Amino acid sequence: MAKIDFKDDSAIVIIGSGAGGGTLAHELTRRGIKVVLLEAGKRQSLEAFSQVPGEAFGQLTWLDTRTPFGQLTWLDTRTQSGNWGVARDFPSLPVWHCKTVGGTTVHWTASAPRLQPWELRAKSTYGKLAGASLIDWPISYDELEKFYVIAERRMGVTRRNDMPGLPASNNFKVMHAGAKKLGYKQVHTGHMAINSRSYDGRGFCIQQGFCVQGCKMGAKWSTLYTEIPDAQATGNLDLRIESTATKIEHGTDGRVNAVVYRDERGQEQRQKARLVCVAGNAIETARLLLLSESSKYPQGLANSSGQVGRNYCHQITGFVWGIFDKPVYSWRGATLAGVVEDEVVNDPRRGFVGGYRIELLALDLPTLPLVGLPYGWGRDFASIMESYRNLAGMFINGEDLPRSDNRITLNSNVKDAYGLPVANVHVDEHSNDQAMRKHAQGQMSRMYDAIGAKRVVLGPTPPATHNLCTARMSADPRDGVTNPWGQTHDIKNLFISDGSVLTTPGAANPTLTIVALALRQAEYISQQIKAGNI
Amino acid sequence: MDEGTIHRRDFLKTTTGLLTGMVVAGSPLGLIAPGRAWAVDLTAFTSSEAATLMAAARTIAPHDKLDDAAYALVVQAVDSDATKDGNTRKILREGLSRLGAEFIKATETDRVAALKKVESSEFFQTVRRKTLQVLYASPIAYAYFGYEGEAFSKGGYVLRGFNDLRWLPEVPLEDSGPVPM
């Protein structure tokens, strides 16, 4: 691994090691470019991932009440506001992403579908909608598709190229049977970045059911054990863990030239940089740009448009559980390996614009009552839990509409460990979002009813895991933060490299798109450096 | 009850009470540890407060055949939180006191009514949250609800029933994929 001097201003600094930052680090280092990769979290490993929330059987000293996600989750304080259900049901955890080497690719469920061509033309397709800040993507689907193909091969996505689909689990058998009764055609085990056979030096999925806790087989693609070790092998990567960026600095010419961060001992460090790429997940990316305000950039970096932190999208979610009179054992097997894609269309006759996916889902026993079920207690609540063996699950992943005031701001009333304002997440759902969720939960209920469910339970909206669009790509610099390569409109050597740059969210789980855009950005940065433009 | 087990314990000076019980033979846990006595040292609550708390947990998440030992873990966790934080302790003790000594002996209908009255209080929400967090995370609960938990050391579920459902049609291969083993 490279050791890059703090004063070495020839290196690129990437902030965040997830899908965007980890992929970008590999792509740049393999082209011979030196990279300092800052990651706020610690490094875990396949061996360290835990599937045991409690202690040994038979004792009565189990004090360990942390969730199985404690070792991975970004648990720094956030505040939130707005009318969305998350503010009511999960007040202290508006969003759920990771703080660990590999970022959210460690806990993602590995669903890797593509956006549809028309989803990149959201404003043209949906028309002008009151209360929404829609724009079209500044790149075409054909352009994006080239990088989807590379990303799918890189990640070993199933049902693409020669990677077979994953086998059908019990939970998927229930979904499939219900979907077919309703006449759905596109029902399969999904395009998953999970090895259905050994691939890329990693083993195949043994259906553990612990995708979210970190795949102990490494069958699920994660930058933790793919892109990052590959980048380290080039000799050009300096990975610094437990290093939290607090400010990006610039020179009198307006170009960024250093990143200030706190190291593993809490000491402030300053790394010089020729170019900075921010990939801290859409909440922290926006926060860092806003925290980096200066006399030259009083609204924060790359924010002359005022768009940094705005248009926050998180995709529409919501659980539906079917209780049957026979066992399902839904926890056995790859958590999300099943999808119905027929509703990924824009058909305003349904009462809303945009599309949604119906995706398979299961929750382990400890997590179900905390995240998956509506608020409740007493006999009715307990009766659902009593049916755990016979419970099948699904959820919706749909396109939400960007709104200018759904945004990440700095909350100066609440400070983090370094005395810096925390992020506030504000979401007021658009009526379109609510109509879509209602339609989707209705369809999912009908699927379960059609095959004889004893009861269908609609769950809450869980903390957002798909954090998007807070520094969106736009053709017009007034509408967004970056150009089609994630290069900020305002500062040529400042790039955004995570889900923040998605112009609109679409109905596809975002990681594949984030990886495709990172691959494309790496190519662009490399070309621009060669051409002497940055 | 195996009183000797308890008497031999070294009590901490800070111990405020004790909650005891015995794993019932025939319960899911009983298959593993039948007749085994358990005891929870309390450092914030009295024995009587702990008994009220246990009754509250049983009312919030009533699983009649789930052993008391599972609910004792909830009591232990709440007691631990109350020991660590004075404000939490105050809220909980006041709340338990308001439920009163008769709460334990009341019918379920009356216990539900008593909790409904305080449902919006911080006391109730704290107890509810902790009950849900702790009750379903213990090996006792795993056994009771049939959840198999940790899977890696047993080779996942690929050969242990991830696709053993037979009461619905099989999925055609074109919509799924081959089992890799």
Tell me, letter by letter, the H, E, C secondary structure of A138-204: CCCHHHHHHHHHHHHHHHCCCCECCECCCCCCHHHHHHHHHHHHCCCCCEECCCECECCCCECCECC
CA–CA min distance B168, chain A (Å): 7
- B118 and chain A: CB distance < 8 Å anywhere? no
Per-residue confidence band for B16, with pLDDT thresholds at 50, 70 and 90: confident
- Flag the least confident range among A306-315, A430-439, B132-141: B132-141
- pLDDT above 90: residue A407: yes
Q: In this structure, are strands A35-38 and A237-240 parallel, antiparallel, or unpaired? A: parallel
Q: Which of B32, B38, B171 sits opposite A60 (nearest CB)?
A: B38
Per-residue confidence band for B164, with pLDDT thresholds at 50, 70 and 90: very high
Supply the pLDDT for residue B14.
60
Supply the pLDDT for residue A55.
32
Supply the pLDDT for residue A47.
83
Supply the pLDDT for residue B10.
46
Per-residue confidence band for B5, with pLDDT thresholds at 50, 70 and 90: very low
Per-residue confidence band for A57, with pLDDT thresholds at 50, 70 and 90: very low
Burial of residue B83 (number of CB atoms within 10 Å: 0-12, 13-18, 19+): middle
Structural domain includes residue A359: yes
Residue of A180, A204, A377, A381 to mutate for B, most B C-beta atoms under 10 A: A377
Question: What average pLDDT does this structure show over A347-363?
Answer: 97
Tell me what percent of the residues of chain A surpass a pLDDT of 70.
Answer: 96
Structural domain includes residue A2: no
CA–CA min distance A501, chain B (Å): 33
Q: Which domain holds residue A493?
A: 12-45+72-530
Q: From the CA atom positions of chain A, what is the Rg in Å? A: 22
Structural domain includes residue A449: yes
Measured between alpha carbons, how far apart are the two ends of chain A, in Å? 25
CA–CA min distance B49, chain A (Å): 19
Tokens 């997940």 identify what position?
A: A281
Assembly ipTM = 0.91
Structural domain includes residue A62: no
- pLDDT above 80: residue A62: no
d(CA A464, CA A94) in angstroms, rounded, equals: 6
Supply the pLDDT for residue B34.
56
Residue of A51, A66, A88, A169 to mutate for B, most B C-beta atoms under 10 A: A169
Which chain A residues in 325-344 lie under 8 Å from chain B, judged by CB atoms? 326-329, 331-333
Contacts (Cβ under 8 Å, ≥6 apart) of A234 = A29, A30, A32
- pLDDT above 70: residue A65: no
The count of structural domains within chain A is 1
Across the interface, whether the CB atoms of B63 and A188 are under 8 A apart is answered no
Per-residue confidence band for A83, with pLDDT thresholds at 50, 70 and 90: confident
Q: Which of A62, A377, A386 sits opposite B128 (nearest CB)?
A: A377
Two tokens, residue A192: 């998953």
Residue of B147, B154, B168 to mutate for A, most A C-beta atoms under 10 A: B168
Question: Helix A170-181 and helix A431-450: axis angle, to 10°?
Answer: 100
Supply the pLDDT for residue B15.
75
Supply the pLDDT for residue B30.
55
Per-residue confidence band for A95, with pLDDT thresholds at 50, 70 and 90: confident
Which chain A residues in 135-164 lie under 8 Å from chain B, judged by CB atoms? 158-159, 164
Which chain B residues in 141-180 lie under 8 Å from chain A, judged by CB atoms? 141-142, 145-152, 155-158, 160-165, 167-171, 174-180
Across the interface, whether the CB atoms of A60 and B40 are under 8 A apart is answered yes
Q: Which residues of B touch A164 (CB under 8 A)?
A: 177-178
- B6 and chain A: CB distance < 8 Å anywhere? no
Q: What is the pLDDT of residues A465-516, one digit of tens each?
A: 999 999 999 999 999 999 999 999 999 999 999 999 999 999 999 999 999 9
Tell me what percent of the residues of chain B surpass a pLDDT of 70.
Answer: 86
Q: Which residues of A touch B76 (CB under 8 A)?
A: 60, 62-63
Across the interface, whether the CB atoms of B180 and A327 are under 8 A apart is answered no
**What is the interface size between A and B, counted as CB pairs within 8 Å?**
186
Residue A524 contacts residue A306 (beta carbons within 8 Å): no
Domain CATH number, residue A33: 3.50.50.60
Structural domain includes residue A172: yes
Per-residue confidence band for A56, with pLDDT thresholds at 50, 70 and 90: very low
CA–CA min distance B165, chain A (Å): 5
Supply the pLDDT for residue A85.
85
Structural domain includes residue A3: no
Across the interface, whether the CB atoms of B62 and A379 are under 8 A apart is answered yes
Which chain B residues in 75-104 lie under 8 Å from chain A, judged by CB atoms? 76-77, 80
Q: From the CA atom positions of chain B, what is the Rg in Å? A: 21
Supply the pLDDT for residue A353.
98
Residue of B12, B112, B124, B167 to mutate for A, most A C-beta atoms under 10 A: B167
Question: What average pLDDT does this structure show over A323-341?
Answer: 98
Supply the pLDDT for residue A69.
46
Contacts (Cβ under 8 Å, ≥6 apart) of B149 = A51, A52, A364, A365, B139, B142
Supply the pLDDT for residue B12.
45
Q: What is the pLDDT of residues A428-462, one digit of tens each?
A: 999 999 999 999 999 999 999 999 999 999 999 88
Question: What average pLDDT does this structure show over B78-88?
Answer: 95
Q: Which of A197, A328, A329 sits opposite B180 (nearest CB)?
A: A197
Q: Which of A176, A207, A385 sits opposite B156 (nearest CB)?
A: A207
Structural domain includes residue A236: yes
Residue B92 contacts residue B80 (beta carbons within 8 Å): no
Phi, psi of A220 (to 5 degrees): -85, 135
Supply the pLDDT for residue B32.
52
Average pLDDT, chain A: 93
